Amino acid sequence: MELQTPYFVIEEAVLQKYYDMLTDSLEKNWGNYLVGYSFKTNSLPWLVSFMKKQGAYAEVVSQDEYSLARYMGFRDDEIVYNGPYKSVESFRNVLMAGGYMNLDSQMELNWLIDLAKEYPEKHFYTGIRANFNLEQMCPGETTMGEMSGRFGFCYETGKLAQGIAAIKALPNVTLTGLHLHSSSKSRSVKVFRSIAQMACQLKREFDLKLSYVDLGGGYCGGMPGRPEYPDYFPAVAEELAKEFDPKQTKIIVEPGISMISKCTSFVTSVFDTRDIKGTRYVMTDGSRFNIDATMIKSSYFFEIEENRAYAAERPVMAEQVISGFTCMEVDRLFIHKDRQELVPGDKIVYENVGGYTMSLNPLFIQYFPAVYVKRGNEMIQVRKKWTPEEYVQGSVWEKE
Ligand SMILES: Cc1ncc(COP(=O)(O)O)c(C=O)c1O
């Protein structure tokens, strides 16, 4: 039976291949590691439970993500808690249970000080996020360039030193981890080598005894000619081994896009074509909002599946503007140049769309599309298309 487009498909075998590639490389190069799956990248319940079954912890960055992790069965000690927007209650729960807490700000440090005072008989373990000038180590590669990042305690201004000193002064708190996630455009091996070098430098400078070094996310995966998981960890391990012993210190990784992009596609159909002032518009039932909600992509990986029922000649057309279904003019995905005419019933299948796509989908004009998991030849629906029923849940209105 033909499935109703648009829909996302996750190929389970490819997902498993990437998960295994990551853990095999960590196992081989360091042996002591933890995967914290990045919820924000894609928190589809099926994916979250897949990761949980593999043994991953939940890497969350808000009260809602924390609540979802708990709802999906992660214990408080199976949470890696990052980001600037934690709630006090969830912050305390994770610390009380011995989960992985990476302090992002002075505000959170104050929460920790209060908690430690409130429970003087209990011992707490925390990590701290270092904000440092990765651009200096990898010129032209970072997302922020010369501008500072917004997250964590700044090394260069002395705030990190102050934060570390404040934690060390607490009698019932141990600083046990460093979090060093830094977003880069290049996602290069050099970026991760530099992050590992920084971990070593901070350990030496502040005389730290760490049970974990959290490298964060930001790896490449499934992009031809770009690094894969097995390329990163020999370099990371080579650097970390200069200061750390795998028996004492584990590596935490927080994979997101690298894990799920390659296995995920978005299947759309052409439903209409129109010519306006010499321009051919190809109207599809998928939208740029489904796969590029932040409007930053300039190209897509895609394949065309022609409608076999269409028997007429397909002339080659100089330009066809592939457009989404919404009423926004910006909803144009790409220009299909010097290709055969596309007609209703043709499918456009976008590849590498698993990261920051489903989680950034809006409820705009059409509700969330269905999601299938491809297991062998079977297509298993893991989310049904949203209808007004899901849309109105929790709403109140006066019925006539
Ligand atoms: C702290 C943290 N961990 C993990 C990730 C996941 O990164 P990616 O999807 O690039 O692997 C991000 C993304 O920005 C992040 O900020």
What are 54-83's pLDDT values in tens digits?
A: 999 999 999 999 999 999 999 999 999 999
Polymer length in residues for the chain: 400
Of 259, 285, 300, the domain-final residue: 259
Rounded to the nearest angstrom, the distance between the alpha carbon of 182 and the centre of ligand 1 is 8
**Model confidence at 344, in pLDDT bands (50, 70, 90)?**
very high
Residue type, 172: N
Average pLDDT over residues 12-24: 98
Inside any domain, residue 24: no
Judge whether 27 lies within some domain: no
In this model, does residue 332 exceed pLDDT 90? yes
Question: What average pLDDT does the chain have?
Answer: 97
In a domain, 397, yes or no: no
In this prediction, residues 190-196 reach a mean pLDDT of 98
**What atom of ligand 1 comes closest to residue 61's alpha carbon?**
1
The finding on whether 36 has its CB within 6 A of some atom of ligand 1 is no
Note whether 347 and 305 are within 8 A (CB): yes
List b or e across 214-248, with b for residues whose CB sees 16 or more CB atoms inside 10 angstroms: bbbbbbbbbeeeebbbeebbebbbebbeebbeeee
Residue 198 banded pLDDT, cuts 50, 70, 90:
very high
CA-nearest residue, atom 13 of ligand 1: 217
Please say if the pLDDT value at position 370 is more than 80: yes
- Report how far ligand 1's centroid is from the alpha carbon of 2 (Å): 36
Looking up tokens 């373990």 gives: 125
Are residue 124 and residue 47 in the same domain, yes or no? yes
146 — pLDDT class (breaks 50, 70, 90): confident
For residue 103, the cross-strand partners are 128
Q: How far is the CA of 1 from the centre of ligand 1 (A)?
A: 38
Which 3 state secondary structure label does DSSP give 99? Answer: coil
The number of folded domains in the chain is 2
CATH value at residue 52: 3.20.20.10
Is residue 89 assigned to a domain?
Answer: yes
Q: 385 C-alpha vs ligand 1 centroid, how far in Å?
A: 27
Dig out the tokens for 276 from the structure: 């306006």
Q: Is 149 in the pocket of ligand 1 (CB under 6 A)?
A: no
Q: What atom in ligand 1 is closest to the CA of residue 216?
A: 3
Rounded to a whole number of angstroms, the distance between the first and last alpha carbons of the chain is 40
Sign of the alpha-carbon dihedral angle for 86, 90, 96, 99? negative
Say if ligand 1 is within 6 A of residue 280 CB.
no
Is residue 38 in contact with ligand 1, taking CB distance under 6 Å? yes
Rounded percentage of the chain residues whose pLDDT exceeds 90: 96
Q: Which residue among 38, 101, 229 is best mutated to probe the pocket of ligand 1, counting the most ligand atoms within 8 A of its Cβ?
A: 38
- Does a structural domain hold residue 235? yes
Torsion angle (degrees, nearest 10) of CA 112, 117, 118, 124: 50
Buried b (16+ CB within 10 A) or exposed e, 173-200: bebbbbbbbbebebbbbebbbbbbbbbb
Q: Does 247 share its domain with 332?
A: no
Residues 221 and 279 in one domain: no
- 1: exposed, middle or buried (C-beta count within 10 Å: 0-12, 13-18, 19+)? exposed
Per-residue pLDDT at 1 exceeds 80: no
Question: How far does Cα 44 stand from its chain's mean position?
Answer: 12
Q: Which two tokens stand for residue 28?
A: 């081989």
In the predicted model, what is the mean pLDDT of residues 127-149? 93
- Write the CB contacts of 269 (distance below 8 Å, at least 6 apart in sequence): 5, 6, 284, 285, 344, 345, 346, 347, 348
Find the 133 Cα to ligand 1 centroid distance in Å.
18
Domain's final residue, options 208, 233, 259: 259
Classify 319 as helix, strand or coil: strand
367 vs 226: CA distance, rounded Å: 35
pLDDT confidence bin for 16, thresholds 50/70/90? very high
Q: Is the domain of 171 the same as that of 248? A: yes
- CA 149, 150, 155: angle at the middle one, nearest 5? 65
How far apart (Å, rounded) are the C-alpha atoms in residues 347 and 300? Answer: 15
In a domain, 124, yes or no: yes
pLDDT at 279 exceeding the cut of 80: yes
Contacts of 328 (CB under 8 A, 6+ apart): none
Cis amide prior to 315 (ω within 30 degrees): no
Same domain, 285 and 191: no
Q: 318 lies in a domain?
A: yes
* Mean per-residue pLDDT, 99-119: 98
Rounded to whole angstroms, the Cα distance separating 266 from 11 reads 11
Are 326 and 219 contained in the same domain? no
Q: How far apart are CA 341 and CA 48, in angstroms?
A: 40
| Residue 181 CB–ligand 1 contact under 6 Å | yes
Of 102, 104, 109, 111, nearest to 81 (Cα)?
102
Q: Are residues 38 and 184 in the same domain?
A: yes
Q: Could you tell me if residue 349 is inside a domain?
A: yes
**CATH number of the domain encompassing residue 302:** 2.40.37.10
Q: Are residues 306 and 248 located together in one domain of the fold?
A: no
Tracing tokens 């180590």 back to the chain, one arrives at: 137
Tell me the whole-structure pTM to 2 decimals: 0.96
Q: Please say which residue of 233, 259, 285 terminates a domain.
A: 259
Identify the pLDDT of residue 347.
98
- Quick one: pLDDT at residue 113? 98
Domain containing 106 equals 32-259
Q: Tokens for 273?
A: 């074509």
Q: Are residues 232 and 339 in the same domain?
A: no
**Judgement on whether residues 170 and 226 belong to the same structural domain of the protein:** yes
The three state secondary structure string of 278-305 is: CEEEEEECCCHHHHCCCCCCCCCEEEEE
DSSP three-state, residue 317: strand
Same domain, yes or no, for 268 and 198?
A: no
CA-CA distance, 11 to 16, in Å (whole number)?
9
Confidence (pLDDT) at 148: 86
333 and 194 in a common domain: no
CA distance 367 to 357: 14
